[in-house]
């Protein structure tokens, strides 16, 4: 049985990046259960590959150890571009994309470099990892492998593997690690009020404020899209990262953020004087169905309607689920790894990417973490910081 220096479980963003960085200095194998490596990476940023953000810093991450995240992710977005040959551009929100706006080109570049440096096994699942005298014995559904070091780059909750008992979390716990509570993040949120199903298909740009047990949590401005009992869109995706692990969450939508309450009230007063039906009092001013939903919540006159346009509150029943979520909140606690992202319990076992208890805001922060944590592991394996 061949002995590798490094066995990387998971050929996603962090696993491929790590293999590319090893540069043949160590013998490595990447084991990926999917038919192709990097399939999620190719789907990121709506297929355009939002791989980092010019505003990257530890404050943009949800984590239990800001110092460690600061040390790994840093504050220089360019630091993760090294293996990618090409040019990159940033949009007004700091989201950095390959200039050609093709996420699959990022995967192709990493795959080429990984293939030059490592054996790549696809359609192969790691079913178990055991410590052995000289490292690790990995059991896969295609046979066993030996390696001096093992790196878990298995990502977050993946519904394809979640019932198999062979997720990265299962592998880590079998080696003595714990896993925090897991929640979907950057995802649609389920609404408690079933009557809002009538808004399915309505899209609007507005301000969104989130409250938990009445306490302010976060706010943002952007697109909101109502679905079948759920709400999504870029503003909700952003907010979801702050609320999916909280109880008694409410979102307050401020429709027409650039228009004052008095202007809205005046518009409603004019239409009332013209004899416009009550349900249509916000016609033209708001999407028709949204306008009707706002008016239906009020019993009073123009001032109350205008106030409700600015403070439309909906109850949140939680995240829609892990299906469709972009990331998983929670994972292997940072207290269980060293600064080199090596296990504090098992020498030679490392973690990179989403499997760790770190998730970033929407906007390129999660790929930045996947890449920068893989770079930290590469440094540890090749003799850098431990
Ligand atoms: C639709 C979508 C869009 C996104 N857009 C963005 C974006 O624009 N910007 C951004 O920063 N982030 C984005 N993300 C999040 C980002 O893709 C992830 O945070 C990142 O891919 C995590 O990298 P990873 O290597 O930890 O995990 P992954 O990339 O998920 O890779 C994990 C790999 O491990 C494999 N695996 C798991 N268990 C086993 C096993 N037992 N044996 C063998 N293989 C196994 C899986 O098949 C998978 O290929 C998006 C996510 C989604 C779903």
Q: Where are the domains of the chain?
A: 3-183+327-381, 188-319
CB of residue 41 inside a 6 A radius of ligand 1: yes
Query: Which mutation among 40, 107, 324, 358 tests ligand 1's pocket best, with the greatest number of atoms within 8 A of CB?
Result: 40
CB of residue 154 inside a 6 A radius of ligand 1: yes
Average pLDDT over residues 352-363: 98
pLDDT tens for each residue of 144-178: 999 999 999 999 997 666 666 679 999 999 999 99
Which residue's alpha carbon is nearest to atom 35 within ligand 1?
A: 10
Position 386 scores a pLDDT of 43
pLDDT tens for each residue of 277-303: 999 999 999 999 999 999 999 998 999
Both structure tokens of 105: 């080109």
pLDDT tens for each residue of 77-111: 999 999 999 999 999 999 999 999 999 999 999 99
Query: Which mutation among 73, 103, 370, 377 tests ligand 1's pocket best, with the greatest number of atoms within 8 A of CB?
Result: 370
pLDDT tens for each residue of 102-142: 999 999 999 999 999 899 999 999 999 999 999 999 999 99
Q: Is 107 exposed, middle or buried (0-12, 13-18, 19+ CB in 10 A)?
A: buried
CB of residue 135 inside a 6 A radius of ligand 1: no
pTM exceeds 0.75: yes
Indicate the fold that domain 3-183+327-381 takes in CATH.
FAD/NAD(P)-binding domain (3.50.50)
- Of the candidates 354, 358, 350, 385, the residue with the CA atom closest to the CA atom of residue 370: 354
pLDDT band at 205 (very low <50, low <70, confident <90, very high): very high
pLDDT tens for each residue of 227-281: 999 999 999 999 999 999 999 999 999 999 999 999 999 999 999 999 999 999 9
CB of residue 53 inside a 6 A radius of ligand 1: no
Residues, the chain: 386
Q: What is the mean pLDDT of the chain?
A: 96
């Amino acid at each position: 049985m061949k002995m590798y220096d490094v066995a990387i479980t998971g050929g996603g963003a962090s696993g491929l990046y790590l293999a590319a960085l090893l540069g043949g200095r160590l013998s490595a194998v990447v084991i990926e259960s999917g038919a192709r490596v990097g399939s999620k990476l190719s789907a990121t940023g709506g297929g355009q590959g939002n791989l980092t953000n010019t505003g990257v810093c530890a404050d943009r991450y949800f984590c239990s150890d800001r110092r460690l995240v600061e040390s790994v992710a840093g504050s220089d977005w360019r630091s993760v571009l090294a293996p990618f040959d090409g040019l990159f551009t940033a949009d007004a929100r700091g989201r950095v994309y390959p200039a050609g706006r093709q996420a699959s080109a990022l995967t192709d570049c990493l795959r080429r470099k990984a293939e030059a440096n490592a054996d790549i096994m696809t359609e192969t699942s790691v079913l178990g990892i055991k410590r052995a005298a000289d490292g690790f014995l990995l059991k896969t559904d295609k046979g066993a492998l030996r390696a001096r070091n093992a790196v878990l780059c298995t990502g977050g909750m993946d519904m394809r593997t979640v019932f198999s008992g062979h997720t990265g979390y299962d592998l880590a716990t079998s080696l003595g690690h714990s896993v925090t509570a897991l929640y979907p993040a950057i995802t649609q949120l389920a609404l408690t009020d079933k009557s809002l199903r009538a808004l399915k298909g309505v899209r609007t740009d507005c301000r969104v404020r989130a409250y938990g047990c009445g306490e302010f949590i976060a706010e943002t401005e952007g697109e909101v899209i109502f679905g079948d009992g759920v709400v999504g869109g870029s503003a909700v995706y952003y907010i979801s990262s702050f609320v999916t692990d909280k109880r008694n969450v409410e979102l307050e939508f401020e429709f027409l953020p650039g228009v004052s309450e008095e202007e809205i009230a005046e518009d409603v007063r004019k239409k009332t004087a013209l004899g416009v039906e009550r349900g249509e009092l916000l016609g033209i001013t708001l999407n028709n169905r949204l306008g009707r939903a706002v008016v239906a919540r009020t019993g009073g006159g123009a001032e109350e309607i205008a106030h409700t346009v600015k403070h439309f509150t909906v109850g949140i029943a939680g995240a829609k689920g892990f299906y469709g979520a972009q990331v998983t909140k929670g994972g292997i606690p940072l207290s269980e790894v060293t600064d080199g992202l090596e296990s504090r319990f098992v020498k030679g076992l490392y973690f990179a990417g989403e499997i760790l208890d770190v998730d970033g805001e929407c906007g390129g922060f999660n790929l930045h973490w996947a890449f920068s944590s893989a770079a930290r592991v590469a440094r540890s394996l090749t003799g850098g910081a431990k």
